[in-house]
Amino acid sequence: MPVERVADKARGLGLPGTIVDGSSYLEVYQTMSDAIQRARSGEGPTLIEALTYRITPHSSDDDDRSYRPLAEVEAYRSHDPLEIARKDLIDAGLLSDKINAQLEARVQKMIAEAYQGAERAKYPQPLDPPQMVYAPGDKPCLNLP
């Protein structure tokens, strides 16, 4: 990218961009809440760059051991926002292991259904994605034929 941060790309689209610690679920929640309020009040979208560490490989075909040591990955496990949130909720008495297991099963089902839907979906046309980029005022950022 010709920009240092992904959030910097927002300026080129006429949008605000913000960077958030993606490992802090509370910070992400607050940033998302602010962006949602901004959008609902008619001020348009916000590009949010959540900085976090990818613990798993990109895909089942990606052997990430070839470009990052296992010790590095393991060190970042303690920063996993899902595990941090789960632990905080259990410690606060707001989540039990039983409810957590039920929620995980429900989420896995939702993921499987979304995956199946994506597999059945038609491929987009080459010019579809740029036409879906909007600036404040709901005007397309790109004037394509």
Query: Which residues are catalytic, by number?
Result: 54, 58, 67
- C-alpha count within 13 angstroms, C-beta hemisphere, residue 124: 8
Would you tell me how many other CB atoms lie within 10 Å of the CB of residue 72?
A: 10
Residues in the chain: 145
- Please give the backbone phi and psi of residue 102, each rounded to the nearest 5 degrees, phi first: -65, -45
Q: Which residues of 119-145 are buried (b: 16+ CB within 10 A; e: fewer)?
A: eeeeeeeeeeeeeeebeeeeeeeeeee
